[in-house]
Amino acid sequence: MADSRLTRIEQQIEKIKKELLLIGEMRPGSLTKQYRQPKEKKGGFYQISYTYNMKSKTEYVTPQHFDDLKQQVETYQKFKDLIEKWIDLALEHSKLKIQFDKRKQENE
């Protein structure tokens, strides 16, 4: 039972590794639309805000770069999600392996 679960977890981790190899350009942050005159919603522009090395940064985004940056931010989120899944699976794998080894020793 635990052995087959370990195998399934290992397969899921391998799938995540393969997906990570296909990750393209990425960038942390969030894209937002701001206004120079917020009440009238005039003078709109986009900016990207992110934190890197414990420093917050905000940069203006030109209209021609918006689509690329949006894709990079989405790719970064996918990257983070895959890493989070990998960590969850690795923790479960470690715990199951310890339990499996403990039972194996008890039966010897």
What pLDDT digit, counting tens, does each position of 45-82 carry? 999 999 999 999 999 999 999 999 999 999 999 999 99
Residue 2 has pLDDT above 70, yes or no: no
Strands (E) in 1-108, as ranges, are 30-37, 42-52, 55-61
Q: What is the mean pLDDT of the chain?
A: 94
Nearest residue to 99 (alpha-carbon basis) of 16, 8, 13, 107: 107
pTM score above 0.95:
no
Rounded distance between C-alpha atoms, residue 46 and residue 44, angstroms:
7
Residue 1 has pLDDT above 60, yes or no: no
Confidence of residue 25 (pLDDT cuts 50, 70, 90): very high
* Helices and strands in the chain: count of H runs, count of E runs: 2, 3
Rounded distance between C-alpha atoms, residue 47 and residue 61, angstroms:
5
